Amino acid sequence: MRCLLLSKLIISITLIIFNQIISSNCALFIDTKAIFIGDKLYCLDLTQFFYVDLAGISLDTDELVKQSKWIDLTNIKPKPDNLGFRNPIPSGNKIMFLDEFAGNFYVNAFDTTLKKWEINQYVNNVQQPKLFIPFTNWISDEKTGKSYLTQTLLNEKVLIFDTINMVLNISASVPKIFSEKYPSGGFLNSYDKYVQVLIPNGQILFIGGIINNINLPMDSLLVYDTINDIWQILNTTGKAPEARTDHTAVSTSDGRVIVFGGVSKQSTPALPHLSILNISKTPYEWLTPIVENPIGAFSGHTSVMVNNYMISAFGKNESNKDPLINSLSEDFYKLNVSDPLKYKWSLLAKYNYRDNSPKTTQTAFVGNNSFAPSETEVSAVANSSFNEDVSRTRLAQNNKESSSNNETKNI
Ligand SMILES: *[C@@H]1O[C@H](CO)[C@@H](O)[C@H](O)[C@H]1NC(C)=O
Ligand SMILES: *[C@@H]1O[C@H](CO)[C@@H](O)[C@H](O)[C@H]1NC(C)=O
Ligand SMILES: *[C@@H]1O[C@H](CO)[C@@H](O)[C@H](O)[C@H]1NC(C)=O
Ligand SMILES: *[C@@H]1O[C@H](CO)[C@@H](O)[C@H](O)[C@H]1NC(C)=O
Ligand SMILES: *[C@@H]1O[C@H](CO)[C@@H](O)[C@H](O)[C@H]1NC(C)=O
Ligand SMILES: *[C@@H]1O[C@H](CO)[C@@H](O)[C@H](O)[C@H]1NC(C)=O
Ligand SMILES: *[C@@H]1O[C@H](CO)[C@@H](O)[C@H](O)[C@H]1NC(C)=O
Ligand SMILES: *[C@@H]1O[C@H](CO)[C@@H](O)[C@H](O)[C@H]1NC(C)=O
């Protein structure tokens, strides 16, 4: 609805702005990744960095997180130059960003306890990595403080970053077993759009994705053993879910991997929407659980484990085929995973949620930079050609509303 109103308005104003907004699809959160540290959900993408404070929120109730708990960190200063909040590396209470300049590697780290940046820390580079193109995500092992980055070309080694000793190294092994199984016929063989999940035994499972332009079947998983630096292909048992991209996978402490969402081809939700891989048995076994209160098939979302819940946010609701309804999500949902066979979804945080909002909400938008209720946003959008910018500004300044969280005022 919002997108439609916006589009109509923009067409009547200028085509250039129209194109800009349409290309962003009216989404506030694109490729946003969530990381859980302490009791906060940190969310990062190219231009935004904020957290949703879950302190005092009981996930076991239906309590929704208020908008005053969305705290922006984008403009905390002093801040590293030209930092996009991409490819975060969680490490203890820090979120690190590894960067390269003229063959040297350095780290910018955000200390979530002090709410301060540590800028340009030196990284000891054991073996000069051949290539540094972080298209994929770092997978972090909280136990060892090591993070792993696999590149999409199958002849490349794994970057291994020891976040405690600040040492960057590369693996000895390459996934040769995989490139042999999926020969490329002379072209560069690339495996892309998979998700990776680290499980307690030190294996990184690669789930789904595309190789040589075909969706990789889910009953055959590429595995990197981080302890022994070995690549394997593991066959699974049970009824494997449909092959997919743009999904997520998380690992529970009791030996399950939860795979959610994704598409089998463009705009076609992969089935089932929710699948469980039982990694407590060998070979690993796929299960299709009972899902209560399903939220639809999401793609391009982010998922993270918090206690007995998988929290998923943003992305696109691929189940929604109504062009009048905006299927891009700005909200957080939680999945109760306590019961291994039965999973239940509920809403956790709505982008515009105000539990005590007065009925006359019009002033909320023009007023003090709070997250506006959606009705207000529609009318405000219709009167504004810069919805994206306005929203970002709101996001950037939202912390001013909260007296207990005024860190960016201190800058
Ligand atoms: C989550 O699931 C467990 C086990 O089924 C149940 O005891 C608990 O009440 C559920 N929590 C919520 C918020 O529904
Ligand atoms: C770096 O990785 C190589 C394997 O590629 C390994 O033999 C070596 O011990 C590692 N060095 C450090 C300092 O971790
Ligand atoms: C996995 O399955 C493939 C056939 O899909 C088979 O060729 C291969 O031998 C199996 N691997 C193992 C370790 O059983
Ligand atoms: C996603 O779309 C489907 C189909 O319109 C709908 O039933 C479901 O409630 C939507 N999910 C959310 C979270 O809005
Ligand atoms: C996973 O496998 C283990 C070992 O066989 C079993 O005890 C457990 O119940 C299985 N989990 C599910 C969800 O089926
Ligand atoms: C917004 O807050 C500032 C102080 O932070 C105050 O001076 C101003 O009057 C407020 N504006 C509105 C519209 O509430
Ligand atoms: C634009 O704002 C004016 C008041 O500022 C209001 O009367 C009008 O209805 C708004 N337009 C739309 C399309 O909401
Ligand atoms: C907010 O920041 C100001 C300026 O640094 C400081 O004096 C004040 O104590 C802070 N308030 C709270 C509630 O943290």
Per residue in 145-177, pLDDT (tens digit) is 999 998 776 778 899 999 999 999 999 999 888
Amino acid 51 reads: Y
Nearest atom within ligand 5 for CA of residue 341:
13
Q: Which of 157, 169, 228, 229 has most ligand 2 atoms within 8 Å of its beta carbon, as the pocket-test mutant?
A: 169
Domain locations along the chain: 33-172+360-380, 176-349
The ligand placed nearest to the CA atom of residue 162 is: 2
Indicate if ligand 8 lies below 6 Å from the C-beta of 411.
no
Cα 169 to averaged position of ligand 2 atoms, centre (Å) = 6
Cα 371 to averaged position of ligand 6 atoms, centre (Å) = 15
Task: Name the nearest CA neighbour of 230 among 162, 163, 178.
Answer: 178
Q: Please check whether residue 159 is in contact with residue 170, taking contact to mean a CB–CB distance below 8 angstroms.
A: yes
**What phi, psi does 233 have (nearest 5°)?**
-115, 125
pTM of the model: 0.78
- Torsion, Cα of 233, 238, 239, 245 (10° steps): -40
Q: Which of 123, 125, 126 has most ligand 2 atoms within 8 Å of its beta carbon, as the pocket-test mutant?
A: 126
Task: Name the nearest CA neighbour of 71 among 411, 404, 410.
Answer: 404
Indicate if ligand 5 lies below 6 Å from the C-beta of 278.
yes
Per residue in 319-365, pLDDT (tens digit) is 999 988 889 999 999 999 999 999 999 999 998 776 554 433 333 33
Indicate if ligand 8 lies below 6 Å from the C-beta of 403.
yes
380 pLDDT above the threshold of 90: no
Q: Please check whether residue 109 is in contact with residue 121, taking contact to mean a CB–CB distance below 8 angstroms.
A: yes
222 pLDDT above the threshold of 80: yes
Nearest atom within ligand 8 for CA of residue 406:
1
Cα 134 to averaged position of ligand 3 atoms, centre (Å) = 31
Per residue in 244-303, pLDDT (tens digit) is 999 999 999 999 999 999 999 988 999 999 999 999 999 999 999 999 999 999 999 999
Give the three-state DSSP class for 243.
coil
Task: Name the residue with the closest Cα to ligand 1, atom 12.
Answer: 60
Give the three-state DSSP class for 129.
coil
Task: Name the residue with the closest Cα to ligand 6, atom 3.
Answer: 368
Rounded distance between C-alpha atoms, residue 97 and residue 35, angstroms: 14
Q: Which of 34-43, 135-144, 203-212 is predicted least confidently? A: 135-144
Per residue in 73-121, pLDDT (tens digit) is 999 999 998 788 889 999 999 999 998 888 888 999 999 999 999 999 9
The pLDDT of residue 190 is 81
Indicate if ligand 1 lies below 6 Å from the C-beta of 338.
yes
Rounded distance between C-alpha atoms, residue 407 and residue 409, angstroms: 5
Q: Please check whether residue 106 is in contact with residue 118, taking contact to mean a CB–CB distance below 8 angstroms.
A: no
- Of 3.40.50.300, 2.120.10.80, 3.40.50.11690, 3.10.20.740, the CATH number of 176-349 is 2.120.10.80
383 pLDDT above the threshold of 70: no
Rounded distance between C-alpha atoms, residue 124 and residue 107, angstroms: 11
Residue 13 parent element (H or E): helix 2-13
Instruction: Provide mean pLDDT across the span 183-206.
Output: 87
Nearest atom within ligand 8 for CA of residue 409:
2
The pLDDT of residue 404 is 35
Q: Which of 362, 368, 369, 402 has most ligand 6 atoms within 8 Å of its beta carbon, as the pocket-test mutant?
A: 368
Nearest atom within ligand 7 for CA of residue 378:
14
The pLDDT of residue 270 is 97
Task: State the Cα angle at 389 between 387 and 395, rounded to 5°.
Answer: 100
- Torsion, Cα of 141, 142, 147, 149 (10° steps): 50
The pLDDT of residue 187 is 65
The pLDDT of residue 3 is 38
